[in-house]
Amino acid sequence: MIAMFAGFLTLSLTSCRDNKTPKEELIEDMQDKGADIKVKDDKIKMETDNEKVKIKTDDDGNTKIKHKEKN
């Protein structure tokens, strides 16, 4: 019974660890691409040669993401 509980607990904690918000995934993706990242208060601006991303969080905690491809 103890082994079954320990196994269940291990699986549940492991599955929660990998959940990332779209904001976190986008930031990691842009970092991997070598983006220039600028952070000001509630705004994050990231730019590569091909992409431009702006992330803004308002006072209520709502996040707006603008993602543009450059030509």
pLDDT tens figures, 21-71: 888 888 889 999 999 999 998 899 999 999 999 999 988 989 999 999 987
- Return the exposure string of 29-47: e unless at least 16 CB atoms fall within 10 Å of the residue's CB, then b: ebeeeebeeeeeeeebbbb
Say whether pTM exceeds 0.85.
no
Q: Where are the domains of the chain?
A: 21-69
pLDDT tens figures, 1-23: 888 878 777 766 655 556 778 88
Identity at 16, one-letter amino acid code:
C
